[in-house]
């Protein structure tokens, strides 16, 4: 008989686990509290009168093949195309001038980080280049695995302008964690990730955006929308899930793919799971999608897809993404920006949407929590499993969400054929993608 599996939540973790279970022959029902699929629910569709329509993923998905191999392999399996983008960086003082810009230079088939000519002779640029040289001269494999990033920077006397002005804003952006956490992160892991992102293959985006991947994962799945699971009841005949007006079940297994701090539906007998999962830290904030160009460098020629703004003592900073150069469907629209927790609010007439969001924070404690979760999952008669962006070790959350879904599917006795080895395809540029789309 087919295994009957319920998945609670249709973010990327829920859709991936549901899709993999169905591929393996199970009967899958997904319950989602939103009126639509959770994954891609905040995507903005921007229509210009008489012009092209476009979309903006919220939050934006930009992935390095080295750090997001499983997500990209999943896309490949599903036939969701990806394309390469360049995400140059600009750094500016708050309300003041831009002091650094990066660019890329091509040698043969490879791209290397470089600096635009008008920035080459600046003192700050040399301090940045020296910082990179210091950083990349050290071989992560030779570093003591207990050495923290802070200890590494102290030992190598790394310039604060490079460290606090560029590296920390970049790392807090990629790693979804705060400065303190980054200070204590093992230096070898972060250096390895940075080397791969800066010197490795170019970053990629999904053609058709998050929606394209969500559409493929959701194809043929029994998705019950507008259903908030409020109670989980285990009986001898199976597991039942109750919402305010309906009951679903019986199921043989349940995969909880909601965030770790949203598990109010678990009954008393799951108190140890609730306690463990409630210990995962979260960061909340608002992601603003807007057109307020005060969040970009003063001079248009300094605009870069990633813009970090900070005050001169580095006590506060924010980053904005200029979406147009990396999203072909809005390449010719007015500027669209995304800013996470801005230090000042964008002008109201320039706001497209402001979405309150929470994201799992990776810190030193997670490692032990994940070990405990893994042990719980291995309990022989287990029927309820947990996955999501908090539930797998590693830095990029989307990758962790997909990996945790694969782990859960394995615990259920299935063998999903995902190798976590994304093979970087022939280079497809943004220009090529734009002309494909236009055609």
Interface contacts to ligand FAD, rule CB under 6 A: 8-14, 31-34, 38, 59, 228-229, 257-259, 262, 265, 287, 340, 357, 359, 388-389, 396-399, 401
Q: Which two tokens stand for residue 204?
A: 């990629």
For ligand FAD, the closer CB: 9 or 54: 9
Q: How far is the CB of 157 from ligand FAD (least distance, A)?
A: 31
Nearest residue to ligand FAD on Cβ basis: 38
Q: How far is the CB of 108 from ligand FAD (least distance, A)?
A: 29
- C-beta atoms surrounding 284 within 10 Å: 10
Q: How far is the CB of 304 from ligand FAD (least distance, A)?
A: 17
For ligand FAD, the closer CB: 230 or 431: 230
For ligand FAD, the closer CB: 66 or 119: 66
Q: How far is the CB of 210 from ligand FAD (least distance, A)?
A: 9
For ligand FAD, the closer CB: 213 or 287: 287
For ligand FAD, the closer CB: 158 or 167: 167
Q: Which residues contact 107 (CB under 8 A, 6 or more apart)?
A: none
Q: How far is the CB of 230 from ligand FAD (least distance, A)?
A: 7
Q: How far is the CB of 49 from ligand FAD (least distance, A)?
A: 30
Partners of 222 in beta bridges: 29
Q: How far is the CB of 133 from ligand FAD (least distance, A)?
A: 27
Distance of CA 308 to the CA centre of its chain: 18
Q: What are phi and psi of 417, to 5 degrees?
A: -90, 70
Q: Which residues contact 303 (CB under 8 A, 6 or more apart)?
A: 90, 296, 297, 322
Between vectors from CA 173 to CA 170 and to CA 177, what angle results, nearest 5°? 115
Q: Which residues contact 167 (CB under 8 A, 6 or more apart)?
A: 131, 135, 194
For ligand FAD, the closer CB: 161 or 254: 254
Q: Which residues contact 240 (CB under 8 A, 6 or more apart)?
A: 232, 233, 247, 248, 249, 250, 251
Cα–Cα distance, 276 to 373 (Å, whole number): 8
For ligand FAD, the closer CB: 32 or 302: 32
- To the nearest 10°, report the CA torsion of 324, 326, 327, 329: 70
């Amino acid at each position: 008989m087919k295994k009957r599996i319920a998945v609670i939540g249709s973010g990327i973790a829920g859709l991936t686990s549901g899709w993999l279970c169905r591929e393996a022959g199970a009967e899958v029902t997904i319950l989602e509290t939103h009126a639509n699929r959770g994954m891609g629910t905040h995507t903005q569709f921007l229509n210009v009168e008489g012009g092209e329509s476009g979309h903006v993923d919220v939050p934006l998905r930009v992935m390095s093949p080295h750090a997001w191999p499983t997500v990209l392999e999943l896309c490949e399996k599903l036939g969701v195309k990806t394309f390469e983008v360049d995400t140059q960086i600009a750094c500016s003082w708050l309300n003041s001038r831009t002091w650094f810009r990066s660019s890329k230079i091509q040698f043969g088939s490879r791209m290397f980080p470089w600096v635009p000519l008008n920035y080459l002779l600046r003192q700050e640029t040399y301090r940045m280049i020296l910082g990179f040289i210091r950083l990349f001269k050290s071989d992560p494999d030779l570093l003591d695995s207990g050495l923290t990033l802070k200890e590494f920077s102290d030992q190598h006397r790394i310039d604060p302008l490079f460290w606090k002005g560029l590296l920390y804003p970049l790392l807090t952006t990629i790693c979804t964690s705060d400065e303190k956490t980054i200070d204590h992160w093992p230096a070898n892991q972060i250096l390895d990730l940075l080397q791969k992102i800066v010197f490795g293959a170019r970053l990629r985006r999904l053609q058709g955006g998050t929606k394209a991947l969500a559409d493929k994962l959701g194809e043929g799945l029994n998705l019950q929308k507008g259903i908030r699971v409020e109670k989980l009841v285990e009986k001898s005949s199976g597991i039942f899930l109750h919402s305010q007006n309906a009951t679903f079940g019986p199921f043989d297994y349940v995969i909880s793919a909601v965030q770790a701090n949203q598990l109010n539906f678990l009954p008393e007998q799951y108190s140890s799971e609730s306690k463990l999962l409630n210990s995962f830290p979260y960061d909340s904030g608002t992601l603003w999608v807007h057109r307020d160009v005060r969040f970009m460098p003063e001079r248009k020629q300094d605009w870069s897809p990633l813009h970090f703004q900070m005050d001169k003592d580095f006590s506060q900073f924010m980053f904005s993404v200029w979406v147009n150069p990396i999203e072909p469907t809005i390449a010719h629209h007015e500027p669209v920006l995304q800013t996470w927790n801005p230090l000042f609010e964008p002008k109201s007439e320039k706001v497209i949407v402001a979405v309150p969001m929470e994201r799992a924070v990776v810190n030193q404690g997670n490692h032990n929590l994940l070990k405990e979760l893994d042990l719980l999952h291995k309990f022989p008669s287990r029927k309820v499993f947990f996955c999501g962006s908090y539930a797998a070790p590693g830095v990029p959350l989307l990758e962790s969400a997909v990996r945790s879904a694969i782990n859960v599917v394995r615990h259920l006795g299935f063998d999903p054929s995902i190798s976590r080895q994304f093979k970087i395809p022939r280079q497809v540029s943004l220009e090529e993608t734009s002309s494909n789309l236009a055609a």
